Structure formats: structure tokens, C-alpha cells
Structure 1
């Protein structure tokens, strides 16, 4: 399995200039592609159903060719979902920390 570094996600309580909002998870986010260091800031609404670890612990994200293969045998934190067209993501727990896998349609 090849893992290509994508970004670091940092939960924040600060109000940012949000680039998007994922309604099902009630997640505000900045676009890491617009950040010099590939940092994505996230903030969940108070009534978000996302796990506490996702909401409070920074994560590292990797692009993968096959998300199902990447998830095989891993502890799932957040099941696979699509935050936008052609993108599928999921989160695992690795050594007590969240890791995001992203599959992007080519």
C-alpha cells in the first residue's frame, strides 16, 4: 500500500475564514491546498456526531489509491464518506491518534 502525504488537520476553537462546511458531520474546514504548510483547520458544531478524537486531536492525512484496501485490518474511527464529488475519506486510529485516508478519483 502506498501512502502519499496530503495534509495535517488541526481542530481549533478559533473562528477562521472557513472554506467549506460538511453538513452531515457539521464540520467547518479550511482548504489545506491554500495553506503554505498543507494545514487544514477544522471545527465541529456543538451538535456534531463526529467522534471526540476527531474533534479534538490533530490528524495526518494520506492519499491512497484504494480506500477499502487501506482500511483493511485497521481500527475505524470514522467510516468512509464523501465530502465532495470524486473524493472519499475515512479515519482510522493508529497508535492512539487519528489518521485520514483520502481516495481521489482520477
Structure 2
């Protein structure tokens, strides 16, 4: 299964309802609360995220098996858990940044 979830847009501006992801030192918004499923990402200056994930928009898909999606792909960020029961990874495919998300329930997502 691969289902569209949101688009992510890097920004330098703070947005209401941001959530801090400690592992990547980035503030993110909840795309479920945006009418067009947009997630804003505001990186701290010392964020370990560099390159395309930090500088380009991304398209995110909910998947059943992240490892299967990564096979043969240019992995930008290996799978990690920004919160319990929620795993993400990023690839670069044809010049586009793609995020894969694995979770059982929407309530597993870190945004509250």
C-alpha cells in the first residue's frame, strides 16, 4: 500500500501549532489541519538535516513496509521514529524528495 498523506514545505517562518522533532531539530505542523494537506518544516540552525530534505519540498506517502520502499532507492534519511509507533524515511527519486511514513493509527503521529 502507498497512499498520499501530505506535501512538506520548508519555511523560515513560525506557524501555529508547530511540533518539535528532537531527532532532526525541526518544527513541523500537522498537515491534517491544513485544507490542502500541507506540512510546514522550520529547521533549527543546528539541525542535522542537510541537502534536499532541508531545502526542497517533499511528497509524503503512508506505506505498509518502509524497508521495501527503500530497496534500490537513493536514501537521504534512513528510517527513524520521531515518536513511538511512527517511522519515517526520505529518498530522492527523479530529483524529488519523497517521504515514506509507517504508522498504524493517525493518533500515532506526533502532532497533537
Task: Tell me whether 1:104 sits opposite 2:103 in the alignment.
Answer: yes
**Count of aligned pairs:** 105
Alignment match, 1:32 = 31
CA distance in 1, matches of 2:74, 2:52: 13
Residue 17 of structure 1 and its aligned partner are, at CA, apart by: 1.7
Q: 3-state DSSP class of the match of 2:23?
A: helix
Residue correspondence of structure 1 range 36-75 to structure 2 within 5 A: 36-75=35-74
Alignment match, 2:4 = 5
Which ranges of 4 or more aligned residues in structure 1 deviate by more than 6 Å? none
- 1:22-70 superposed Cα distances (whole Å, 9 cap, x missing partner): 1121010000011111100001101111022111100000011011111
Q: 3-state DSSP class of the match of 2:97?
A: strand
TM-score, scaled relative to structure 2? 0.88
Contact kept in structure 2, 1:91 and 1:101, CA below 8 Å: yes
Contact kept in structure 1, 2:22 and 2:82, CA below 8 Å: no
Q: Which stretches in structure 1 are left out of the alignment for 5+ residues?
A: none
Alignment match, 2:16 = 17
TM-score, scaled relative to structure 1? 0.93
After superposition, the Cα gap between the structure-2 partners of 1:43 and 1:82, relative to the gap in structure 1 and judged at 3 Å, is same
